[in-house]
């Protein structure tokens, strides 16, 4: 979407919200569908590493708190397990929200957790267990660190061409291109390309950065003892559909077992890394002691007809008016309409 189109969408969302059109749409939609349940997907909150972490972009603590306050006043906030119970019973609350976090960043503990406690909000954090309590950065954070800290003015990558790094927009664009390319590759090939990036960029990641960026098990245990729920999110965050089925099953079960051993609690929820799944994975999740699984399907609200192992989530953004478009159901309905028209 062009910058002018984005600006037009932002203005339209602001006008619609201020005229209460989004509230009216949400009200009418609830009368027709009988439910208005949003599962929210957060990654990073108010991090001190916002200066170099290009993706996922951290949401400020202030905006996160304003969103939590909004949901407390306007929605019934459910735990993910509770939502699964409602889905199994075939009856959903009319207007509810569920709060989730992916990956296991330390800023979830430093910044999000105190706000969740302040508003008595249940939440589920999905852990990539091979990184928790270690010094291992996620591969996309390595890419972001390289692009932010390299002194070179362009990256010469054979398949992606020469990517300039002169400006902030150049760096964001390069980061996006490289990340999308690497995301689709097997881990071995991905790691080789990241090593190549280190070599041509002359960048070295300082020891200990991973421990500063990722949750420790002590922090996970503290939050668990205080009511935060934890779900499995694989061991190494691969795209599961790119793996042989048995290897994908191992990623799922090992992450579940890792959390259960550390917390002494049964893990009942799963989040597909990168949101990718197929029929075989959905079947396996259903047979492995999970009560539900979440993805990152385009921002649509949950209905009683949804598959409990393919639940979509909405990723909130800084622009509150655009968020309201998502929470009202309008954004997802428009996307569905566009897809139907294209067929």
- Reduced to 3 states (helix: H, G, I; strand: E, B; else coil), residue 298 is coil
Given the structure tokens 């080789």, which residue do they identify? 192
- Rounded CA separation 318/10 (Å): 11
pLDDT at 333: 66
Q: Which helix (H) or strand (E) holds 230?
A: strand 229-232
Using one digit for the tens of pLDDT, what is the confidence trace for 255-296?
A: 999 999 999 999 999 999 999 999 999 999 999 999 999 998
Domain ranges of the chain: 38-135+211-333, 139-201
Which residues are CB-neighbours of 319 under 8 A, at least 6 positions away? 10, 13
- Rounded CA separation 252/233 (Å): 7
Using one digit for the tens of pLDDT, what is the confidence trace for 114-138?
A: 999 999 999 999 999 999 999 999 9
pLDDT at 273: 96
- Rounded CA separation 113/121 (Å): 9
pLDDT at 44: 92
Start-end of H helices in the chain: 3-18, 21-33, 61-74, 80-89, 106-107, 113-118, 139-149, 168-183, 187-201, 209-213, 217-225, 245-263, 279-287, 320-327, 330-342
pLDDT at 331: 62
pLDDT at 83: 96
Given the structure tokens 């119970």, which residue do they identify? 85
Does domain 38-135+211-333 sit in CATH 3.40.50.740? no
> Which residue numbers in the chain have pLDDT < 70?
1-23, 25-31, 34, 47-56, 298-299, 321, 323, 329-343
pTM of the model: 0.88
């Amino acid at each position: 979407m062009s910058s002018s189109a984005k600006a037009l969408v932002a203005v339209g969302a602001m006008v619609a919200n201020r005229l209460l059109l989004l509230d009216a749409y949400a009200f009418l939609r609830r009368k027709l569908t009988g439910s208005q349940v949003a599962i929210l997907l957060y990654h990073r909150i108010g991090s001190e590493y916002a200066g170099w972490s290009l993706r996922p972009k951290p949401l400020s603590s202030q905006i996160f708190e304003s969103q939590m306050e909004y949901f407390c006043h306007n929605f019934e906030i459910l735990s993910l397990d509770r939502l699964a119970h409602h889905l199994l019973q075939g009856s959903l609350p009319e207007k509810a929200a569920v709060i989730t976090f992916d990956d296991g960043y330390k800023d979830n503990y430093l910044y999000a957790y105190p706000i969740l406690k302040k508003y008595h909000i249940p939440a589920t954090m999905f852990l990539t267990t091979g990184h928790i309590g270690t010094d291992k950065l996620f591969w996309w954070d390595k890419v972001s660190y390289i692009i932010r800290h390299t002194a070179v003015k362009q990256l010469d990558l054979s398949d992606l061409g020469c990517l300039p790094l002169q400006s902030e927009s150049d760096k964001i664009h390069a980061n996006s291109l490289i990340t999308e390319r690497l995301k689709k590759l097997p881990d071995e090939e991905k790691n080789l390309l990241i090593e190549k990036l280190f070599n041509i960029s002359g960048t070295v990641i300082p020891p200990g950065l991973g421990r500063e960026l990722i949750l420790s098990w002590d922090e996970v245990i503290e939050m668990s003892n205080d009511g935060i729920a934890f779900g499995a999110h694989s061991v190494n965050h691969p795209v599961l559909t790119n793996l042989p089925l048995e290897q994908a099953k191992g990623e799922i079960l090992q992450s579940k077992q890792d959390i259960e051993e550390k917390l002494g609690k049964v893990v009942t929820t799963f989040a597909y890394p990168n949101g990718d799944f197929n029929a075989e994975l959905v079947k396996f999740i259903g047979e492995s002691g999970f009560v539900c699984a979440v993805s990152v399907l385009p921002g649509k609200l949950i209905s009683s007809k949804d598959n409990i192992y393919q639940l979509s989530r909405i990723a909130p953004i800084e622009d509150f008016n655009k968020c309201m478009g998502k929470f009202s159901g309008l954004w997802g309905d428009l996307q569905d309409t566009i897809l139907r028209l294209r067929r």
